[in-house]
Structure formats: structure tokens, C-alpha cells
Amino acid sequence: MTIGHGQHPSSVVTLKSVHDFDTTITRIKTALDGVGAIVFADVDQREAAGLAGLDLRRTRLILFGNPKAGTPIMAANPHSALELPLRLVVWEDDTGHTHVDYRDVSQTLGPLYAIAPELLAPLQRMTGLLQNTVQ
């Protein structure tokens, strides 16, 4: 069975990578480092599933951020910390294609947490960065 993209919130950006799974991970980490972002965690969800005796397609959750961008947002509204650090998921479908899902929190932090647009500007660049990374 081929995995479709399924239903997801409009704030989730799904990108298909032209690179294999491992190369996509490496390119993302390099790009994040290049813009001063810190990778706080890289969770191999397939490995975790295997430890529970379950199968899961190759799936990695990456938590990342830049305190220079995130701290002013959390200072403006402490509840916004639920959305930070940023995260993305790299996953492989049944045909071997790699995808990157990223929740564009700049779309949710403004309307849901009343964060000023100027504080969101650094986060709005993330989608373009990821698009360039998977091409």
C-alpha cells in the first residue's frame, strides 16, 4: 500500500525531497546550522517503535530552534512555548521517497497566541530554507 499525504492542518507544509532519507537529514542539519539554529533533539521514531515490537516506516523527528528568535516570542506570551522549539519530521514512504513535514508555526502563533508580526519574521523564513534544502 502506498502512503498518501493524508489529512493534516493547513499550517503543515509537506515537501518531497529529491534526496534519499539520510542525505535529506544531513542537508537539513547543515542548513539549520548555517542559519544559527540548534538541533535540540533528533528522535528516531522507527527505532522507538522497534523497541516496542512495532514496525514504522523510516521516521525522524527533529526539534530545533534559535533562542534569538524563540525567546522574544515566549517572553511576549509564555503559552507560546508549547509551539517551540520548532520541529519537523522526515519520513520515507512505501516507494522509497523522502518527505519533510514542517509545521509553520508563524501561521499559528499570530492568530492563536497574539504574537506580533515582527517577532514572527525570523520563523517565516524557515519554509523557504527547507524548500531549498530538499531540492
Please give the average pLDDT of every successive group of 10 residues along the chain, which has 135 residues. 62 94 98 96 97 97 96 97 96 96 91 94 93 95
Which CATH number does the domain housing residue 101 bear?
3.30.310.70
Per-residue model confidence (pLDDT) at position 26: 98
Q: Is residue 41 part of a domain?
A: yes
pLDDT at 106: 87
Query: 36 in helix, strand or coil?
Result: coil
What pLDDT is stored for residue 87 in this prediction? Answer: 96
pTM for the whole structure = 0.89
Number of domain units in the chain:
1
Q: What is the pLDDT of residue 5?
A: 57
For residue 6, is it within any domain? no
What is the distance, to the nearest Å, from the Cα of residue 85 to the centroid of all Cα atoms in its chain?
Answer: 10
Q: Which three cell numbers stand for residue 27?
A: 542537508
Distance, CA of 90 to CA of 102 (rounded, Å): 9
Distance CA 115, CA 117 (A): 6
Phi first, then psi: what are they for 46, rounded to 5°?
-65, -45
pLDDT number for residue 7: 79
